[in-house]
Structures are given as C-alpha cells and as structure tokens.
Amino acid sequence: MVTKGDDYIFFLFCGKVSPKDFIANSDILPLTQAKWDRVDRFYNIYFKMPFDCPKTGKLDTLYVCKGQNIPQNSNIISTIHYPEGLPAYSLIEFYPLSQTPSKLPDLPKDLYYMVEVENSPQFPDGVIPSDYPSFW
C-alpha cells in the first residue's frame, strides 16, 4: 500500500519496469482522472492509500507510510530518508493491538508513534480482517 499522490512513476523507473509489463499488469482508470491518479494497482502494489499512514491495517501487508508518524501496533521494516536525514517513508507491517508491548520499542531518530490507536468497534484489535474488501 502506497499513499495517494505519490507518483507510481518512481516505482516504474527505479524498478526498470517495461511499459508492456506495466500495461499488462496494472489497473488503470479512464482518462477522466488526473494523470497521476489513474493507476490503482501494479501487480500487488496499490497506490491509493488515502492516509500518510493508516492507524490500522491488514496482517502480512506492507504499508509505505509517508512522514514521521507510525502506528503503535506496527513493526518498522525499513526507513527511507530525505538527503537532509529526515524520514521520508517508513515501510511497516501491522500486528494486533493485543500484542503491543506495554513499553513501546524505541524508534529510529525523528520517527514518532501516533498518539491515538484505532478504537473502531469494526476492528477491535487494530487489524483489518483478511477478507475485508479494503486495505484501510
């Protein structure tokens, strides 16, 4: 899951994806959309996450969060920094709130835990069920 507004072109360019492979394996919306909002998915990479970082997510799904705030019930896989050192993106995965340690682990420099946790009755343990039709 990648935040909305982050151009998919970076994934294509850095991944050296051929145009034929891209066209064959993407969900592309009609021309009525803005040019950078037309691609919903390339293989299993979804480009329309409506948050910089969601408070809840599915298990076994990698979320690419923008900025400095991450959920309390997440594990940081990697962080990508801007040239001046601030975090640009954090690659995270979720685990249930019930498995959150009483003392949260220390975070890398300039990353912060979100103050609020997901308290939705629909997702009481802060994890979206695998059969739910959306990733957020």
Q: Please give the chain's pLDDT, 136 residues, in tens.
A: 777 765 677 767 777 889 899 889 988 877 766 666 778 888 888 877 888 999 999 999 999 999 999 999 999 999 989 899 999 889 999 999 999 999 999 999 999 999 988 878 888 898 999 999 888 7
**42 and 105 housed in the same domain:** no
pLDDT at 45: 82
**26 and 83 housed in the same domain:** no
Residue 4 lies in a domain: no
- Whole domain around residue 38: which residue ranges? 9-46
Residue 134 lies in a domain: no
CA 136, CA 134: separation in Å to the nearest integer? 6
**67 and 123 housed in the same domain:** yes
pLDDT at 5: 65
Residue 136 lies in a domain: no
Q: Is the pTM of this model over 0.85?
A: no
**97 and 120 housed in the same domain:** yes
pLDDT at 7: 64
Report which of 35, 89, 30, 31 is spatially closest to residue 8, judged by C-alpha positions.
35
pLDDT at 12: 77
Token pair belonging to 55: 């408070």
Residue 52 lies in a domain: no
pLDDT at 13: 76
Residue 107 lies in a domain: yes
Residue 133 lies in a domain: no
**82 and 110 housed in the same domain:** yes
Residue 118 lies in a domain: yes
Domains in the chain: how many in total? 2
Q: What is the 3-state secondary structure (H, E, C) of 3-17?
A: ECCCCCHHHHHHCCC
The C-alpha R_g of the chain, in whole angstroms, comes to: 16
pLDDT at 118: 81
